[in-house]
Amino acid sequence: LWKADELDTIGIQPEVHVGGAFKQLEKDFVPITDDKMVLKKVTKHGMGPLIPKNAYVTLHYKYYVENNDEPVDSSWLRNQPVRFSQGSGTILPAIDFAVITMKKGEEALFIAHFNYCYGPMGVPPRIPPKARLLIQIQILNYINDDAVISYNAMAPDDKRDVPLEQVLVIAGELRRKGNELFKGKPKLAYNKFLEAINLLKDRSVKDDQEESLKNDELTKSLINIVHASLNLARTNDAKKYADEAISILKKNQDVNRTSLAKCLLLKSNAFHKESKLDEAQKCLNEAIKYEPGDELLREALANLAKSQEKANIVRDATYKNMGVKMGFRSAD
């Protein structure tokens, strides 16, 4: 599956000098697309097989417009690697095509036609119309479904021999893939979170330190599946997984008050959606004990108060109508 040294690392930004016209550079590049509109030059060889299609990739990148040695965009400057699923359409097409020609640890330069970048219109003033880009990419890590399938196919005894850090990597990437799917494909996101949760629940641990590491990753996936459940109007699931996260968090001696308050807020939202306003209020009251100054909690309280007021109006109107139908009259 994975070796311990294959965990994500913050890439060291390689030096590159790109001033001048791209024509001067192209002679050292080779095409990677059939239309020869994306060209590549390897600056540091990677290891292992090529990144497969649909893999979940972690990388650093920066890109330049022609005749400019200052990058237009850079993940190194943000000190934040980019993570995405290849083929998902969530990143620049040139980068999407580039990564499946690369290996883990590889660094390369790509010159890409505007059709693979920002199109004929560009994004003025940063990206001129019909601008080709020089893109620098450093692959940090990737994971594909084969790793998950291989792990799930193992016998229980074999799974116990897999180091915990490898299991945490797979679970973490499943969770991050779910995050990426959340906005457009919430059902698929839900399934990814659930896959991560089940993987971690099945994992045994050796000591308290491993238990803590496992529970930290498990809590993140539980919180995310609560969000997905609410998005899908699965309120029973939302309450169930919120309770599981709350139970884990409360067992810690050093309680993460922010995460605990967040779980209680999400559970309150589930009760609110079911119009169980008293239960929603109880959850919010407990959440406020952990984070008394939180703005989201105050906003939730205000929304709940409005719902309670509307419910009271509907209740009073209903009782009044019942009284009229039964022949009762209000006192003068």
pLDDT digits (tens, 9 = 90+) for 30-67: 999 999 999 999 999 999 999 998 888 889 999 999 98
Q: pTM for this one?
A: 0.61
Per-residue confidence band for 2, with pLDDT thresholds at 50, 70 and 90 = very low
Tokens (6 digits) for 44: 């540091």
Stretch 285-313: mean pLDDT: 93
Model confidence pLDDT, tens digit, residues 103-156: 999 999 999 999 999 999 999 989 999 999 999 999 998 877 667 777 777 787
Cα separation of 17 and 191, whole Å?
Answer: 44
Stretch 73-98: mean pLDDT: 90
Q: Three-state SS across the chain?
A: CCCHHHCCCCCCCCCCCCCCCCHHHHCCCEECCCCCCEEEEEEECCEEEECCCCCEEEEEEEEEECCCCCCCEEHHHHCCCEEEECCCCCCCHHHHHHHCCCEECCEEEEEECHHHCCCCCCECCCECCCCCEEEEEEEEEEECHHHHHHHHHCCHHHHHHCCHHHHHHHHHHHHHHHHHHCCCCHHHHHHHHHHHHHHHHCCCCCCHHHHHHHHHHHHHHHHHHHHHHHHCCCHHHHHHHHHHHHHHHHHCCCCCHHHHHHHHHHHHHHHHHCCCHHHHHHHHHHHHHHCCCCHHHHHHHHHHHHHHHHHHHHHHHHHHHHHHHCCCCCCC
Q: Residue 5 pLDDT more than 80?
A: no
Cα separation of 259 and 204, whole Å?
Answer: 24
Model confidence pLDDT, tens digit, residues 240-294: 999 999 999 999 878 899 999 999 999 999 999 999 999 999 999 999 999 998 9
Residue 1 has a pLDDT of 31
Residue 74 has a pLDDT of 94
